[in-house]
Structure 1
Amino acid sequence: MEKENKAFKIFRVIITLIAIVFLLLFVSGALWGIVNIGNLVGGLLCVWLIFVFGTRNKYKSLKEKLKKNIFGKIVLYGINFCFTALLCYGLIVTGLMTFACIQQPKQNATAIVLGAQVTENGPSMMLTGRINSAVRYLQENPDAKAVLTGGQGSNEPMSEAQAMYNCIVEAGISPDRLYIEDKAVNTGENIAFSEEIIKANGLNENKAIVTDGFHQLRAQIITKQQGLSGSVGSVNADTFPIFIPTFAVREWFALPNQVLFR
């Protein structure tokens, strides 16, 4: 029994430390100006884990107080059920997202580079990561072409596709390997409009989706929903580590919406 108690204590410490690290990452994302359902829900999940596993005595004390009446029991079991279900769901989806990231594209597949925000100072940090990965892929696959896809938002000085084109050409990639698609406003349109360019220009129908790792699973689901021809592989962007937890948790909510309603 003593060994089990010791093992459980070690388990609690590990879970608590992991939750603290992720909570700091969620908060750091917010300090960088990234605030969405990802760091809001992710932060609450971490706080719950820290309270349940890291402050065991306080949790037990509160648990006993809540269990004294039916309303308290409903609150206690309801909160624990919701966070436990969210954690289990999140772990499963994160596993699927990780699997999507390791799907290698076929050699010289046509790259579809998904856009991200362009600021007054140029490509955002996220878009820069995608541009850098696209350049590496095109250097490693000299016969590959790329479709750069992304329209111009109301707060952007130029289209995302044009910003990518400028940076990729500046990096030494020949312009005749690049095709601009500057009308798309979401991932579904990115992929659909890029497919039209691929077919119209007789490009390789095997595809290499260039985007952040957390986004690869949803992009691959969209390609299947649209019934596109050819294989689909992943070219993962150089994502700033602080952003990964926030956007990964956001994908937990975007994915069922994509599967059920689109």
Structure 2
Amino acid sequence: MLFGIAALVPALFFVVGMIRDRRRLGNAVWLGVTLVLLVLWLVFRATALGGWSAEVVGWSVVVVLLGLGFVLPTALLANGVLMVRREGFGLANLLSLLAGLAIFGVVIAFGFATARTGPVVDAVIGSLLIVAAYVAFLFVSLLLYSVLYGSVGRRTGFDAVVVLGAGLIGDRVPPLLAARLDRALSLYRREVAAGRSPLVVVSGGQGAGESVSEAVAMRDYLVRRGVPDELVVLEDRATTTEENLAYSARLLRERDWTGRAVAVTNNFHVFRAAVLARRLKLRMQIIGAPTAWYFLPSAFLREFAALLTHNPVVHTVTCGLLVGLHLWLTLTP
């Protein structure tokens, strides 16, 4: 009963946050806390009512630990190998592989923690496990909220569509960027069918190994598929997501444009782009395009790492307090 009542508090903060602004990072944390308390409430209630015996609860914990400690990291390692084979050897493509190795490291540390290794070693290993649990909680919370954010919100009624760049192969649009352009094209055609003539802003500069700017290649892609050239606005200086959003909004303001705008990116990138739009004080919704399944684990891990950098002090202080409390309880006679 206690956990059920306690879950109402973060649930209230979550609902209020969603109403005020869906792009708030805090919404993901409140969602995570609510779900944790609800799970605890369900477990204790089922046990108290006799539906679950201690043996059932114990086996359930074993299954969860096996899933998190063996199945998940094994899948991440396999995905990391696949990413390297298909996308090349680079840090961004190694993230799922590194995450799998890190989880196996946590499992080994947990094994040491269950052995009699002495109070100091136990305290150190316990501290590492606490940090790992905190990071895992944040990752799951942000992942679930990213999916939720991408599933709700307006889908029509836009006067401008901004397409965020994603890199070229020479002058060719790769599948990742093509998915964004196809989603933007779908939105454009829907607005035209409703009697509007939305502007389409294509945003992306020219990077290393690219023979033209991303904006030029994106414009050509859309024009070949029926978007009038005069409705396509080029933003060819941006090299980051934040610049994509800021420079595109500036171009719209310079054209005295007023109305609703939507930015299109890939589904794994939606929430971070929304957080950046909020930081820039832009009234812009973000919509996601589908992504190849094998690309998603590394992509979500990269987005998670980027989101952590938005509030490094908060996360450092929180981990410090949790570890400090653990050390005090463990080492104090």
TM-score by length of structure 1 reads 0.83
Q: How much has 1:105 moved relative to structure 2? A: 4.4
1:98 aligns with 2:147: yes
Q: 1:38–1:248: 8 Å Cα contact kept in structure 2?
A: no
Structure 1: gaps (5+ residues): 53-57
Question: Could you list the per-position Cα deviations for residues 217-239 of structure 1 after superposition, in whole angstroms to 9, with x for gaps in the alignment?
Answer: 222222222222x4x32321221
Match of 2:179 among 129, 148, 152: 129
How has the CA–CA distance of structure 1 residues 256 and 105 changed in structure 2, closer, same or farther, with 3 Å as cutoff? Answer: farther
Match of 1:237 among 285, 289, 311: 289
Amino acid at match of 1:244: L
Q: 2:264–2:286: 8 Å Cα contact kept in structure 1?
A: yes
1:51-130 correspondence to structure 2 within 5 Å: 51=107, 60=111, 62-65=112-115, 67-102=116-151, 103-120=153-170, 122-130=172-180
Q: Bigger shift: 238-247 or 2-11?
A: 2-11
SS in structure 2 of the partner of residue 146 of structure 1: strand
Q: Distance in 1 between matches of 2:79 and 2:175?
A: 17
Question: Could you list the per-position Cα deviations for residues 30-83 of structure 1 after superposition, in whole angstroms to 9, with x for gaps in the alignment?
Answer: 33225337335522344347x46xxxxx964x4455x42345324422332222
Amino acid at match of 1:35: L
1:154-193 correspondence to structure 2 within 5 Å: 154-193=208-247
Q: How much has 1:161 moved relative to structure 2? A: 0.6
Q: 1:105–1:233: 8 Å Cα contact kept in structure 2?
A: no
Larger Rg: 2
1:180-259 correspondence to structure 2 within 5 Å: 180-228=234-282, 230=283, 232-258=284-310
Q: Distance in 1 between matches of 2:104 and 2:225?
A: 44
Query: For residue 55 of structure 1, what is the aligned residue in structure 2?
Result: none
How has the CA–CA distance of structure 1 residues 259 and 132 changed in structure 2, closer, same or farther, with 3 Å as cutoff? Answer: farther
1:10 aligns with 2:63: yes
Q: How much has 1:240 moved relative to structure 2? A: 1.5
Q: How much has 1:128 moved relative to structure 2? A: 1.8
Structure 2: gaps (5+ residues): 1-53, 314-333
1:140 aligns with 2:193: no
Q: How much has 1:94 moved relative to structure 2? A: 1.4
Query: For residue 101 of structure 2, what is the aligned residue in structure 1?
Result: 44
SS in structure 1 of the partner of residue 262 of structure 2: strand
Q: How much has 1:251 moved relative to structure 2? A: 1.4
Q: Distance in 1 between matches of 2:123 and 2:261?
A: 50
Q: 1:45–1:83: 8 Å Cα contact kept in structure 2?
A: no
Q: 2:74–2:100: 8 Å Cα contact kept in structure 1?
A: no
How has the CA–CA distance of structure 1 residues 151 and 24 changed in structure 2, closer, same or farther, with 3 Å as cutoff? Answer: same
How has the CA–CA distance of structure 1 residues 235 and 201 changed in structure 2, closer, same or farther, with 3 Å as cutoff? Answer: same
Q: Bigger shift: 242-251 or 35-44?
A: 35-44
**Greater share of residues in helix:** 2
SS in structure 1 of the partner of residue 293 of structure 2: coil
Query: For residue 35 of structure 1, what is the aligned residue in structure 2?
Result: 91
Q: How much has 1:147 moved relative to structure 2? A: 0.4
Higher relative contact order (CA 8 A, sep 6+): 1
1:23 aligns with 2:62: no
Number of residues of Structure 1 aligned to a counterpart in Structure 2: 251
Amino acid at match of 1:198: L
- What percentage of aligned pairs have identical amino acids? 20
What RMSD, in angstroms, separates the aligned Cα atoms of the two structures? Answer: 2.7
TM-score by length of structure 2 reads 0.67
Q: Bigger shift: 219-228 or 180-189?
A: 219-228
